[in-house]
Chain A
């Protein structure tokens, strides 16, 4: 049994026009299914607004899904009462993208980290301080940071505090929502290494959300590519890089910078991501797709398994790859 099983998850938001009348639905996540094994890292990639953060919040029950199910260790979370859910909150945690808005500016770092122990009564009151310091040291900070306020830290240090908070309850699953995209490049590497080290030590599972493939390839065992609320391709990380079968994946791989000035420049993906309130007909990707045909305009492709866990939703998956420039 997988640690996390997500089936046919759907979430839409009501959009209102300026007069407050309903003006349609923004479909953020549509028919999304995935599984995650213990100790595994699943990367979730897609452009801004494709629904990847919403997916993370749905899984961790910060948002309620319209339909579909999220099962953690065999228990369907959506059916639990608020009280029952609390014990599962301890088993999965989230790391947020923006380290400047994810820490309460009015609480010291010590108080922020102590909350987990207080809420779940994980330690007697007089031991909490020791546990907090232990946590700070785990993430590469020190005891002297305990009495400080978040604004006294750099972005990287704040993100370490965010990671420490997520670790406090000793979860099995951590949803990392673009944990490094707000950080400097050199700090990104430190945080990634920290996350990998922690995974190794504690057998953590990660759902690692990112908006490009550059970061995610170093951490993920498997990668799911999202476009406008749907998973368009899901495969082992190696397989996805070597043999992308969806034109969007291909474009993402081409978009990863290559350190060679003589290297041919890829064709940039044309156009903006379409509005999820009024998505294109058929395959949502067809207006930007170099392979698009009449079929793509009329009929949405389904996610097909190509064998060995490689799934793709494309009518022309056999021909995809001819624009790929790396490798």
Chain B
């Protein structure tokens, strides 16, 4: 059941979330990442400023997470990298959710050949291993951060489309939708006022988990050198930059790795928490 009363959302769901420690922990991490990304520029340090005298310094009071091979502060680069990760996560998921909602809604609402066409297209896209699809597409484009976000978004909407289609199929024949139709409501009104608002809860969960996936994908692409290009710091390209000196300067790779791990974990815990909280079968 996906039709949630507004008070169910407000009271029950929020209550369940509040009492789910893992979800709170995840939400805390997500919030912390936002704050850290926000304060990056407050440090007043240019993440690309090279300081030859300070190369490969281990963590110290002056450089809490050490410096890299060009003497740049790892902490400051991590903070700026957080901006990239969050930006990629949200923009990519925004794109995929938007495409998924539009195509899923068209398929579920109109049915018939429109449904068949869209869903077979989804099946075809799902046949490709997503990551290799992204690699193939990126190979033809400049590896800029915007291209990365768009490509990740364009290759990850299929799940959302399926979710939305299923919701539309069941909501389309609900009494309150029929009542609006009998009143003379237009297709647009039926879709946007009556069906869509009631179909959004599973999308919320999938979007939260999707952010984690997009962050991971961006890191992987940057790690492979076809994502965000140096000197712009991203967790993925910092990770690979530390590879050469892993033996003598562990902090170059370990901290970006931890940042990715913790952020993805945070989004996943939060997403799972929202899923559980929205599940009407679970009792408090």
Contacts and interface: CB of A to CB of B under 8 A. Distances in A.
A57 B3 CA distance: 23
Given A89-B184, A90-B184, A93-B182, A105 B5 contact: yes
B198 A106 contact: yes
B183 A169 contact: yes
Interface string B175-197: 11111111111100100011001
A102 B183 contact: no
Given A101-B174, A104-B194, A119-B189, A96 B179 contact: yes
A105 B198 contact: yes
B6 interface: yes
Contact of A149 (B7, B175, B180, B182): B7
A98 B178 CA distance: 12
Nearest to A120: B184
A98 B184 contact: no
Contact of B179 (A86, A102, A152): A102
A103 B175 CA distance: 8
B178 A57 contact: yes
A101 B8 contact: no
Contacts of B184: 86, 89-90, 119-120, 169
A152 B193 CA distance: 20
A165 interface: yes
A96 B7 contact: no
Contacts of A202: none
A97 B4 CA distance: 20
Contacts of B5: 105, 149-151
A165 B179 contact: yes
A150 B174 CA distance: 15
A173 B181 CA distance: 16
Contacts of A62: 178, 181-182
Q: Which of A97, A98, A107, A162 has the most CB of B within 10 A?
A: A107
B6 A98 contact: no
A147 to B, nearest CB: 12
B198 A104 contact: yes
A115 B193 CA distance: 10
A89 B179 CA distance: 11
A105 B189 contact: no
Given A86-B184, A94-B179, A107 B193 contact: yes
A27 B73 CA distance: 75
Contacts of A60: 182
A120 B186 CA distance: 11
A102 B175 contact: yes
A116 interface: yes
B133 to A, nearest CB: 29
A87 to B, nearest CB: 8
Contacts of B186: 119
A152 B10 CA distance: 14
Given A149-B7, A151-B5, A119 B176 contact: no
Contacts of B193: 104, 107, 115
Interface in B189-242: 189, 193-194, 197-198
Contact of B182 (A94, A101, A151): A94
Interface string A80-112: 000000100110011011100111111100000
Interface in B18-66: none
Nearest to B6: A149
Given A102-B179, A115-B180, 12 more contacts: A57-B178, A62-B181, A86-B184, A101-B174, A101-B175, A103-B179, A104-B193, A106-B6, A106-B197, A115-B183, A149-B5, A169-B183
15 contacts: A62-B178, A89-B182, A93-B182, A94-B178, A102-B179, A103-B179, A104-B176, A104-B177, A106-B197, A115-B185, A119-B183, A119-B184, A120-B184, A150-B5, A162-B179
Interface of A: 57, 60, 62, 86, 89-90, 93-94, 96-98, 101-107, 115-116, 119-120, 149-152, 162, 165, 168-169
